Structure 1
């Protein structure tokens, strides 16, 4: 494996997509998320087609319709899981919130009991995702395999019920990803199609749930850590709140006004990026920086080689949202979402989710860290060792 560091390495890998490299995932990861029968049926044309459909679903114009739903669910989450308490653990709550939102937007599942039924095996999957792939009882990988099996079967049941509803004309106006995917009309009527749809939904749930819950936790961490940053975010968000009626939900124009809040989120993800990088596989022999990378070798680009480099970010350990004002960082130096043709398709989804959460959080509470020096560990995303304990204070 060759690890690429720096902006030039990032640029080479991002722009070399389908020319020098192709996406690559650990076999153990695919075993957790995919039905065994489908692992040998993956082809690049099919993958590109699915990615195109996902990009269409997650483009800004499409996501605008989901902003009121995101706002409603955020308000409900804070009222139910935060407001009754003086102190909360942010990380487990953010995971619960982002998972419920993903179930709603991707599968139109609203029932909390069904969401909870999914969430428990998902916890086993995420903890074993990058574990040593030893599949014997008691290992993290074995627990992840068992959790994946439960989730895939539940998804298969949902897919089959949804297909019946579509045939009966009950789901023709649905906006969720699953219904749109099934309505596109490529169903070949085989069990492999249903399994493939299950694989896709599971991948979406993992991607949208893991990284956004981590991102929200990181943002809350820095808002609580730096009162002067919090005050500026609060001021910006209160101006938006005052322009709304009491029962009026946020809209696209409101989110576009959250400029300072987004610089805070970006700086949070610079210091503690939710993903550490990504793998590729060399499809041909190629050379870079005087080294030859043989065909079949794996490559890895890493966020920290640029995010913490003083050449690109002076005084890199300082929390400074102004780095993202104006033209922002130099190209290929700030890469929490990757870059090039394989940039994370959920970037805009994550932006909306983070900003809508920030809006509701700061307009409702003041924040104070109970453990000022609480550390983060990597598993593989940054995780606060005590769950990020925050004291909630009312606004005067």
Structure 2
């Protein structure tokens, strides 16, 4: 048990005050000349105050304070020249025995030294001539209980500290995995957008060159040809910059993003693949479908793909409903399954509704599927919610605003 603090705790202050007050009451309350009474109360009262001071420092110097208490007891006994044993000394001895036992492992040098101090203090208790066998056994029981309770307390504290350190390591690992998942998903999005942007800029550059060639060599269109030539040059430079800046995000040894990024027009093929694995998938499109920006189209497809994958891998669903709703202001995708809860989700996005559920499993360790969905939806300023459905099942809903 670590004792690194110099300042006494509130418990130390309370115990010290209790010993001091009890010592004063005992010393002056039992003053008298009859057998069993105290003839010289002042030394005993001063000893009680000294014992209280020793208790204040018990956590910092446990063995030294126990030896100090033994010295105080011997000193009081010599000054008073009486066989009266003060109760405050016995209470203080038990407290310090407990502290010594909780200070170090018994198998260590410090633990063995502490045990020696405890035995020395117990031996002092047996020096009073009026002690009988019962008194010896009673004091042995109290000292033994105090020492054993200290050992148990130290082991419990050590166990708690180990669990706290382990929990801290697990939490740090989970946060690191979550950060890696976010970085990986953003890199994947960047690779896909790299292909989309490169493709569109290439088309713009080619069309610009085509228009320039259609103008021919007519001197009247010299200015137009010069402007179009500048646009072509800027387009080629933009493509080259994209290759240099974003091309490094491609996976090592791989081809990076898909040569033809997916979109909602490939939803039927995705559903067919999922149905081959077992669950029945029903797709419904509401509203008037229209061309979407490539990045948004890809993100909506990826959200559906991730939700279907999680429902298949984690929820043990038998039926999945996919709804795509087109409106003038937004495109909304909703994936609902009838799978039973599969455990709590970890790492929900800020503002997302999440909880135990089948439909949105973790998609990998630490809730990385949900993290990926959040990144894709947040990129377009959308909203993502995920949670159990009343009556059973799980729903994932993503709304992508159009503007």
The TM-score normalised by the length of structure 2 is 0.22
**Relative contact order (C-alpha < 8 Å, sep 6+): which is higher?**
1
TM-score by length of 1: 0.23
Of structures 1 and 2, the larger Rg is shown by: 2
